Amino acid sequence: MRLYFLLARRVPPVLSPVLLEVFARLAQRGFEVDCGIPEELLERPDELTVKHDVYVLKSHTELSLSLAGALHYQGARLLNPYPSCVAVQNKIVATRLLRAAGIPAPDAWVTGDLGLLRPVVGRRPLILKPYLGHRGQGLRIVRDAAELESLPPPESPVLIQEYIEGSGEDLKVYVVGDEVHAVRKVFSSQSFTQPGRPSAVTPEVRQIALRCGRALGLGLYGLDLVERDGRVWAVDVNTFPGYKGVPHPAARIARYIEDFASGRLTLVAPGGEAFAAGPRPARHPAGAKSDAPTTHLGLGTKSARPSDALQTGSRARGTPWGRWQDEKRTTREPSTE
C-alpha cells in the first residue's frame, strides 16, 4: 500500500525525528512511503491524478490544502479528511462547529469594522486572531476602547474572541484516535518548538478533546485549552501537530495511520460525510497517457513507482525523501513494539 505525506517546510530543513520514525515504522510494516514539500516542488495541478492509496496531510499551508482539495475531488483518501482540514484551518468555521457540538469555547464575533466592538470591549477583554492564523502569529489582545482604536483596519478577516486569561500556561492536548495526552507550557510565539511538561488528563479534558475530534472529523489533532476558576475552554484546534512531550508518539501515529489505511477506522467530516481507507487500487483515469513528466508528488499521468520517481528526482538528495533516505542509513531502526 502506498502512502504520500504532504509536508511543511522546516527550519533547519531536516525531517522531524518523530516523522522519521513514523516513516521507518510504516516501511517495516510493508508500506511504501513517499513525501514532499509542495512549496519546493513544481506541480501541474491540471494533471494531478490519484496515485497513492492514502495521502497524509502534515502541512497546513494554503498550497498543501489546495493540492489536497484537488486530490479529494478525484476520490483520494486523505488523513485527516480534506473537509475537516479546511474547517479547522478557518477559525470562523471551526468556532461555529465547536459551539454547535456543545464544546465550551469563548464567545466570538466577526466584523470588518473594529469600531463596532466598542460596546463589547467595554465589558470584557478581547483577542483578535487572523482567521487563517497559526502558531500564535498575528494575535492582538485588546482590553479597552483606547487599545481598540489604536488598531489599524484588518486587511483580512479576523476572529474576535473573548479573551480568557488563564494561569499563564497553555494546556496543549494531543490526540491520536482515542488516545489523549496533555502537556503544559508557557505561551509564546516560539512555544510550539518546546515540548512542555507532561500533565495529567482529567475526565473533563479527555471528553472535550474527543468531542472536538468527532465534531471536526479528525483523527490526528491537537487543541489548546485555557483553564480558569475550575472551568475549561477550547480556544484553538490544529491538525496533525508535532506531539512534542507525548510519550512514544511515532509508534502511536504509525499504528493509527496503518489502521486508517487498512480500513479499520472511519472519520466523519463536518456535514456527515464518512471517510475511510482500505486496500484498493489507486485510481488511474482510463486512457490517461501523456508525455508529461511525472510530477514530484507522484500524481502525474505516468507511473510513480520508485524507479520512475528516482528518474525525475522526486526522491533525490536534498528533497524530504532524499533526506529521509540519508538519515535512515545512519539511524537505527526502531525496535519492534
Domains of the chain, by residue range, sit at 2-77+278-330, 108-162, 166-247
CATH architecture type of domain 166-247: 2-Layer Sandwich (3.30)
Give residue 298's pLDDT: 55
Residues 140 and 148: their CA atoms lie apart, in Å, by 10
Which ranges of 249-319 does DSSP label H, i.e. alpha helix?
A: 249-261, 306-312
Return the H-helix or E-strand segment holding 23. helix 17-28
Give residue 261's pLDDT: 96
Low-confidence ranges of the chain (pLDDT < 50): 280-295, 300-318, 321, 328-337
Instruction: Look at the pTM and tell me if it is higher than 0.85.
Output: no
Amino acid type, 112 = G
52-83: pLDDT as tens digits: 999 999 998 999 999 999 999 999 999 999 99
Which of 149, 104, 154, 105 minimizes the C-alpha distance to 129?
154
Return the H-helix or E-strand segment holding 184. strand 179-186
12-39: pLDDT as tens digits: 788 889 999 999 999 999 999 999 999 9
CB 131 within 8 A of CB 156: yes
Hey, what CATH class is 108-162 in?
Answer: alpha beta
Give residue 331's pLDDT: 42
Residues 170 and 188: their CA atoms lie apart, in Å, by 10
CA distances from 37 to 76, 141, 301 (A): 18, 34, 20
82-113: pLDDT as tens digits: 999 999 999 999 999 999 999 999 999 999 99
At 50, give phi and psi (nearest 5°): -80, 115
Helix (H, G, I), strand (E, B) or coil at 175: strand
